[in-house]
Amino acid sequence: MSKSSKSRAWIGFDLGGTKMMAVVYNDRFKQLGMRRRKTKAYEGVRAGIDRIVDTVNQALEEAQVSRGEVAGMGIGCPGPLDIEKGILIDTPNMGWRNLPLKKLLEKIFGFPVLIANDVDAGVYGEYCFGAARKARCAIGVFPGTGIGGGCVYEGRLIRGEKNSCFEIGHMRVMPDGMLCGCGRHGCLETLTSRLAISAAIIAAAYRGEAPNLLKEVGLDLSNIRSNSIASAISAGDRAVEKIVRDAASWLGVGIGTVVNLMNPDVVVLGGGLVEAMPVLFKTAVEESARKTAMPSFEKSFKVAIAGLGDSATAMGAAALARDAFSDTKAGEKKK
């Protein structure tokens, strides 16, 4: 079938820090095939590219789609990027630097490739298909190892000339606060990321204030997962609940400040922490954000939990590719 036909396919790829996922969609964004694989920390570029290619090929095989039927692929990538040139400047957990990913993959596959920040792609996916659909201005905030943020305004991602932006996690909320990974002090990320939350929980467990979590994961920071935090709260670890609630409240302060700047229709919360504790996060964030926003904006927005789960980045990346490589936007019918 030709790329101009209604049955052409689009690929969304999530190049996560610990896993990668390729999803094949038809023109109506119905999923046709999917493959997910673990990434290997600091594997070489050749091995990493081979892994990407194998994952895409397996997804295409499941979808029964040939490379010639693919109109384009979007890839959501972590780390700083040169979006215009399609270069991964520095990829966390992989050690890839200044990698011309777009050029390499276009040469291998023979169809156009677009790269985007993974959080931007996730927020765009929620705007096109999920919790922020049809919003005039949508903000997405995804607390994880860091704090990812993105904004879609009147159908377009807000970004810089070459790179993504909207780094809400590096909003400075405590000038004399803790050192952040970015090299500055007092960033929102030092108070609200999963790493910050986990460190505080380990300290509480060491003091004997989180017996259920201590029994489940011990005192090893690397063993703490979002689900183990949620389990400890359900089991009655009040100190853990307070730590998470306080972190979510600080996140609400950052979001309320952004509300004053952007006046969004909807704020979407996503990521593993939110998925594991949606009610706690939504309640604490919303209360704090409304208290922080100026009175005229206090009731102008809603807070929603992301609806696409693990598919958000891949789906959003595929939608961005469709916007770039066709005259029909994702979710719209071709005229």
pLDDT of the residue at 310 = 87
Write the pLDDT tens digit of every residue in 43-72: 788 999 999 999 999 999 999 999 999 999
User: 9-123+311-325 and 132-307: same fold?
Assistant: yes
- Six-digit token string for 90: 């520095």
Average pLDDT over residues 93-113: 93
Query: What are the phi and psi torsion angles at 149 (to 5°)?
Result: -140, 155
Give the integer Cα–Cα distance in Å for 277 and 196: 16
295: which residues sit within 8 A by CB, 6+ positions away?
Answer: none
- Domain borders along the chain are 9-123+311-325, 132-307
Judge whether residue 269 has pLDDT over 80. Answer: yes
Class of domain 132-307: alpha beta
- pLDDT tier at 80, thresholds 50, 70, 90: confident
- For domain 9-123+311-325, give the fold: Nucleotidyltransferase; domain 5 (3.30.420)
Residue type, 175: P
Give the integer Cα–Cα distance in Å for 55 and 180: 34
3 state SS of 142 = strand
Kind of pairing, strands 9-15 and 137-143? unpaired
